[in-house]
Structure 1
Amino acid sequence: MSDDESYELLGFDNVLLCVGDLDEAVRFYGRAGFAVGFRLDEAGIAGLRVGAETPGILLRLEEVLGHRPPPWMAPRVWLEVADARAAARELTAAGIVLLDQPFAVATGWSVEIADPWGNILGFTDYTKRPELGRRP
């Protein structure tokens, strides 16, 4: 790129997570509170909505994974929620195992889960710093 050319980062498109079974992944993420925005089985993908934003979580089938974590480091994606401790209770009630109990962070509380392929999702709130959150 020459000095007179530049680009601007405008925001997120989608966060891609590789899974070994698309049906199982959609069921897991449905229990975790995600709604399916679209599903294209012929392409091996499903898009999950995240709030009112257009970008979301894109699940991509990688059959080679089967029912095991990938051989690479798993991504860690955190999403904002109104109350992470309430999210932890709802996730547990839905049969999802928490990686740990809710823990304090600088902005509030967080809790993490992992899908069957080792992708880690965190749910964090801004209860200590509401001015930084989406709903101050």
Structure 2
Amino acid sequence: MIGNLPKPLKIAEAGVGGAEIFKLVTTESINLNYIETKPVTIYSITAIGTTDNLIYLKLYNKASNLNPSLDSPLLLIPIPGNTKGAGVTISFPAGADFSEGLCCLVVNGIDDVDETIVGAGSAVINITYK
């Protein structure tokens, strides 16, 4: 054998050290989701856009009572538009901490307080966290 080949990927079972997975296929809304209502650490985000428009994933350090017209997201991630699928994958090897909880929106506008709805199926988002 030449070189070092990577070992096959093994996903741990929940409860024995593995990350939780949040999956979202957007609906015609702002896609408000309270992913966790307790402190969490994010390890990866994959977001794929399926329309011609650039849309935005907003992640908040909130466990409840999000007010999109007042609260500022902790992370703002542009999701590229492409009808054949285009996107972004972000890895946080040491984790990104959300001390209160994890909440997300998916909207058309970049402003922190934008609440412009996206269309159904505009994006597919996967977040791994623990």
Q: TM-score range by the shorter chain?
A: under 0.3
Could you tell me the TM-score, scaled by structure 2's length?
0.24
Name the one with the larger helix percent.
Answer: 1
TM-score w.r.t. the length of structure 1 is: 0.24
Larger RCO (alpha carbons 8 Å, 6+ apart): 2
